[in-house]
Structure 1
Amino acid sequence: MEDYIVGIGKRIKELRKKNNLTIHNIASSSGVSNGLISRVENGRTIPSLPVLISIIHSLGIDVPGFFQGLPQHEEKKYIITRKSEHSVIEKEDEAIGFEYRYLFGKQFISIGFEAILLDIQPGSKREKVETDAYEMKLILSGDCSYQIGDDEVLLHEGDTLFFDGRVPHVPVNNGKIPCKMLVIYFFNNTLSTT
């Protein structure tokens, strides 16, 4: 469900840009605020059904056509966002010198989190571990191969990875320079990070 909410926002933004419409155009046509459209597009909220239908009509598409364009849900062990896929978030209040980039979206019922800066030296070794958290990794510099269950994902500077830490996992640095990453753990009641 959470991924579907993010998908709806991305679909609205895609159609708005394709039709050369602004956030203000859609908001005015739908009878809502610019801020609501921005929050919907960025996956931070979902509008009521009547408002969503109004937004869809203001995009010049019928409701079935809108939902046919949404990506189908695919069960994966992880989410990965490549640096090339990061998009600039359009804010309703423009600020000079500030640029917000969308890395990934996932809604959580839990409120706990922990942020860590991790350096992995070339050739370091470690067994796969499990944590009681969902984990997000943003590669700040270097490259890293992440083994998650039976899958292996190569990450480069700027890539973002999200997965359930209960799946056995380990980062491996096969490069020649250290890999530096921002690690954020999202947890419910208890957090055990290794």
Structure 2
Amino acid sequence: MEQDSLGHGQLVYYKIGGLIRQYRKEKDLKLLDLSAITGIKSAMLSKIENGRMIPTIPTLFTIINKLGIRPETFFSQLSTESDFPGYFFLPKSGFTVYEKEESAIGFEYKSILEYNFEGGAFQISFLTLQPGAKRSQVTTAAFEFIYVLSGNLKYALEDKIFELSEGDALFFDGAIGHVPVNDSNMTVTLLVLYLFTEQGKPGGGF
């Protein structure tokens, strides 16, 4: 699986997918259209856009070239401050709404904090699952930590099902197919931590 072939440090590389999606939509292209002009399978493009896969540098340059984006313009939008002042104050008014799977129903994400460090990066998000929320199982090039803030849900890791309630937590390798399921009539809220590391395996990767 393609992942982590881009450098990090100054680049918030897990924002790549959302930026590609933004430019694709501005060009009024569907995933199949982008697949046709890049020669990259639409399933891979979908995973890249959803932040589930980090593209290799050749793949990324193919995409941005076919979208007509200057590399310096694209990468300037991925840069982040490298100095850590020792703390972050994170008022809720600053949480950023973002989308992962366009086909998902009832999934509402807000990014709380995104931070790079030597050897990787992490993102903390707030996820709201509406009653009946659904999507297919996905994989992610990161470790994931889930903490249930409110409600009850089932969390599927491939064929294994975990029943979680308020205060429960789950930690797993995102390479395992996974999906949260809210089959209750109440809204469920989750805190989600994505840990992106350098090599792709525990002790040096996801």
Relative to its length, the structure with more strand (as a share) is 2
Question: Scaled by the length of structure 1, what TM-score is found?
Answer: 0.47
Question: Scaled by the length of structure 2, what TM-score is found?
Answer: 0.45
